[in-house]
Amino acid sequence: MMNLFTSFSNPKMAEIGFFPFLFILLISLLCAFFISFLYVHFSRAGATGSKIHRSFPLLALSITSIFICIQFSLPLSLGLLGALSIVRFRTPVKEPEEIGFIMLIIASSISCAIFNVLFLAIILLLAILAIFLVRIGGKVLTGKSDAGMMVMKMPTQEYQNKTLQILNAIRTLLPKGKIDGITVNDSETTLSCSFYKLPTDTYLNFQKQLQEIVKSSKINVFYHNPGEL
């Protein structure tokens, strides 16, 4: 009974040995921590507050162990395939970047499961290169997309009297901005203006100049991505 519980039941798995099996699990665990480090330092912090990187070590150990077990047993692999075809995870992915990091965990775990350390090293090196290129060349890849939106509110009477001055201030201080919409009612007028870049000095100067034109004006700034200021 002790031999049954302390040895590998499959003869092919017995050829691996306990220490190589433990060693490859440790490598998979270290890769998971390294990918967690990449996720924390290179992914954007979304408003959802997702901390999916905390599950990377458990995912890596689980996936590596599963693929080591099923590669030596055809019935077990077919049974697992049938079981996974029934299970459906309906929890939505909160951030698009999470999909890439989860797939990276799966790829590294499978590489560990087939004992291909060279393939694992190539995957991690190319992943670091890809993340670096995305972070450095993000502006080239995304183009001149809007960084955020500025919403200006003011009394309708003052807007009608000083429309040209307000529009000139927008063109002068926000050269890459564009007016998306103007909502006018009896008491208040709202201007929505999207911008590509908005440095702190530019925002303060624009706020000061707009308040000189319309003293009772209000400005709200919304960023599509955090950390754009």
- Shared domain for 46 and 81, answered yes or no, is yes
* Distance in angstroms (rounded) separating the CA atoms of residues 101 and 116: 20
Show the domain range for 196.
Answer: 148-223
Confidence of residue 4 (pLDDT cuts 50, 70, 90): very low
Which residue, among 26, 117, 114, 98, has the nearest Cα to 66 in the 3D structure?
114
Q: Three-state SS for 175?
A: coil
The stretch 77-93 carries a mean pLDDT of: 59
* Distance in angstroms (rounded) separating the CA atoms of residues 123 and 116: 11
- Considering the domain boundaries, does residue 102 fall inside one? yes
- Considering the domain boundaries, does residue 113 fall inside one? yes
Provide the 10 A C-beta neighbour count for residue 155: 15
- Considering the domain boundaries, does residue 229 fall inside one? no
- Shared domain for 106 and 175, answered yes or no, is no
- Shared domain for 158 and 71, answered yes or no, is no
- Shared domain for 193 and 128, answered yes or no, is no
- Per-residue model confidence (pLDDT) at position 75: 66
The stretch 105-134 carries a mean pLDDT of: 89
Higher pLDDT, 130 or 48: 130
Q: Is the pLDDT of residue 78 over 80?
A: no
- Shared domain for 32 and 127, answered yes or no, is yes
Q: Are 191 and 179 in contact (CB under 8 A)?
A: yes
Q: Cα torsion at 162, 168, 172, 175 (round to 10°)?
A: 120
Please report which residue ranges of the chain form alpha helices under DSSP H.
Answer: 2-6, 11-16, 18-42, 56-70, 74-86, 96-113, 117-136, 138-142, 156-161, 163-173, 200-213
Confidence of residue 47 (pLDDT cuts 50, 70, 90): very low
What does the block give as tokens for 20? Answer: 């190589």
- Per-residue model confidence (pLDDT) at position 140: 55
- Considering the domain boundaries, does residue 97 fall inside one? yes
